[in-house]
Chains A and B, each alone.
Chain A
Amino acid sequence: DVKVTQSSRYLVKRTGEKVFLECVQDMDHENMFWYRQDPGLGLRLIYFSYDVKMKEKGDIPEGYSVSREKKERFSLILESASTNQTSMYLCASRPRELGDQPQHFGDGTRLSIL
């Protein structure tokens, strides 16, 4: 089974702090993704990466950056946290092959910015 592990289930930070969310997958997947999920808005893609050191902006990249130094690890960084970044953050991975390969999600990080 694919295992996607996020470093924290719950996190509370203060406005202006730099926040790191870590994600590790154990299936040698090339593609990794960061989403946030808010009520009524569904899953929104923040950034994704299709290889080590490669990154692409998703639909809502403002206020975020990412790092992919190793294949198994994809980090999301909130450079200066703001209250509107309070959300559920979900990491996902899938193999490179196009076609019917679904994404597998980590169990999420509930982030509160005070």
Chain B
Amino acid sequence: RKEVEQDPGPFNVPEGATVAFNCTYSNSASQSFFWYRQDCRKEPKLLMSVYSSGNEDGRFTAQLNRASQYISLLIRDSKLSDSATYLCGNTGGFKTIFGAGTRLFVKA
């Protein structure tokens, strides 16, 4: 079993749709969690950290479920510019382990 697993997608959604991604992790000692966005042929960029109580940044909401060992990302009112690959990561100690990413295509 991979340490971090994501549905690779692709998710194809129309503009304005709500889309949700999940990410499961196997290391119960993981301390911190993140969502990154990666555009084609670019580096991953931090989208948001994920806090235990859940957190929101505009149209984006992240949640953590420690009991079931997954994190989620909800995107509301999808824009064309949201098209990208979304990577989840979790850190325990020095290392951050990343999922392979979920591809999102938002269509007009």
Chain A residues packing against B (C-beta within 8 Å): 31, 33, 40-43, 45, 48, 50, 56, 58, 90, 94, 98-108, 110
Contact = CB atoms under 8 A, between A and B. Distances in A.
B21 to A, nearest CB: 14
Nearest to A49: B94
B44 interface: yes
Contact of B96 (A40, A103, A107, A110): A103
Most buried by B among A42, A98, A104, A107: A42
Contact of B87 (A42, A45, A48): A42
Interface residues of B, number: 24
14 contacts: A42-B99, A45-B97, A58-B95, A90-B43, A94-B96, A99-B32, A100-B51, A101-B32, A102-B32, A102-B46, A102-B89, A105-B45, A107-B42, A108-B43
Contacts, number: 54
Given A100-B49, A102-B46, A108-B42, A48 B31 contact: no
Most buried by B among A33, A94, A103: A103
Interface string B54-74: 000000000000000000000
Contact of A48 (B34, B95, B101): B95
Given A48-B94, A98-B31, A100-B32, A105 B44 contact: yes
